[in-house]
Amino acid sequence: MAPRDPTLLPLDSKYIPRFAQIATFMRAQYRPSAAGLDIAMFGVPFDWGSSNRAGARHGPAQMREFSRLIRQVHFVTKMAPFDSCRIADIGDTPVNPLDLMGTLKEIQKFAADAIKAGAVTLAAGGDHTIALPLMRAVAQKHGPLGMLQFDSHPDTHDTLLNHKYNHATCFRRAIEESVLDPKRHVMLGIRGTLYSPDDLDWAYAKGVTIITIEDFYEMGVPKVIAKIREVLGTNKPSYLTIDIDGMDPTCAPGTGAPEPGGIMTREAQVILRGMSGLNWVGADINEVSPPLDPMGQTAQLANNLMFEELCLLTEAIERRRAKGAPKRRSTAKAAKKKSRTARSRARQR
């Protein structure tokens, strides 16, 4: 475990009321850059890839406000991310609401700069288009990624409204660019009406593992967890993306394209906790639209799922540290080696 950094501890609600001070993700400290951080949290206030009900550009702001309710220790695993890693909120990516393609480049650069500084990225959107530039940045370091995608939609269409870059096409582009390895890609919770019967055919043909909501309830949570772990593998780099519309609309009404009959909160928590021990190298959560849920139920759920992501990233960092640490020889073995070396030198004389 890395030494606890008192300058990066989040505000403690036992001593500072939740309604006080400036809102950041999980009451973390704000830093203007990722320098010196293990995990950089940031917002991506972008929704110009959304085809119908916009509003996710306001998601990061509402999530920060409602994340005042998040405490510092995981109830089940007792993971305390801020004790193990240097974590901060580094603000928002640059965006230009009149320039979609330019903004995607800015998002990628922002994430890439954080990664070059040594941090793992955890982002809050924003519509699901943001996953493409974020994953591009992560793949620059790690190569083609595996991915667990919580979602009600596949997001592998070629075009939507004759455009190739939007929240319905992002993972087709990622696969085409070799950012995402389709054979290590799991879609979870896919459901809803289709444009045509062959909507999923391209993804199936590429080798994507699609666990529809029908599959999910037929398999049951333990088998679903086992399948995801089998596809992603333990050691290869994987990315976690959560589209909040993967959740049932009774749990998350504030999203642009809700689909009834989805994953419930408790099921999502159990699945995410079942992802412990995998090599997570980045994550995001997206499609929270405050205008569609001004009371903040959706944002609060998203914050809790984001905390689950934070714990998974923290654990993965700890495992990589342990794996990379030099092995220490026992005192006895070191003494024997020193003695043998001394005798050898004596003979040479």
pLDDT digits (tens, 9 = 90+) for 52-107: 999 999 999 999 999 999 999 999 999 999 999 999 999 999 999 999 999 999 99
| Concatenated DSSP letters of 115-139 | HHTTPEEEEEESSGGGHHHHHHHHH
Give CA–CA dist 56/49, Å, rounded.
10
Cβ–Cβ < 8 Å for 285, 124: yes
| Residue-range domain boundaries for the chain | 6-324
User: Identity (one letter) of the amino acid at 28?
Assistant: A
Name 285's bridge partners.
124, 242
| Concatenated DSSP letters of 21-69 | S---GGGPPB-SS-TT-SEEEEEE---TT-SSS--GGGHHHHHHHHGGG
Give CA–CA dist 294/317, Å, rounded.
35
238-243 and 209-212 as β-strands: parallel, antiparallel, unpaired?
Answer: unpaired
pLDDT of residue 330: 43
Digit-coded pLDDT (tens) for 8-18: 999 989 899 99
Cβ–Cβ < 8 Å for 300, 63: no
pLDDT greater than 60 at residue 120 = yes
CB atoms under 10 Å from CB of 217, counted, come to 13
State phi, psi for 117 to the nearest 5 degrees. Answer: -75, -5
Give CA–CA dist 171/167, Å, rounded.
9
Q: What is the mean pLDDT of the chain?
A: 93
Domain covering 6-324: architecture: 3-Layer(aba) Sandwich (3.40)
pLDDT greater than 80 at residue 50 = yes
Q: pLDDT band for 247, please (50, 70, 90 cuts).
A: very high
pLDDT of residue 324: 83
Cβ–Cβ < 8 Å for 255, 268: no
Q: pLDDT band for 5, please (50, 70, 90 cuts).
A: confident
pLDDT of residue 168: 95
Among 39-48, 78-87, 179-188, 327-336, name the one with the lowest average pLDDT. Answer: 327-336
State phi, psi for 124 to the nearest 5 degrees. Answer: -125, 125
DSSP state of 76: T
Digit-coded pLDDT (tens) for 55-64: 999 999 999 9
Name 201's bridge partners.
none
pLDDT of residue 345: 55
Extract the tokens encoding 45: 């206030």
Mean pLDDT within 138-163: 97
Give the C-alpha distances (Å, rounded to integers) separating 97 from 62, 103, 128, 266: 19, 8, 16, 36
Percent with pLDDT over 70 in the chain: 92
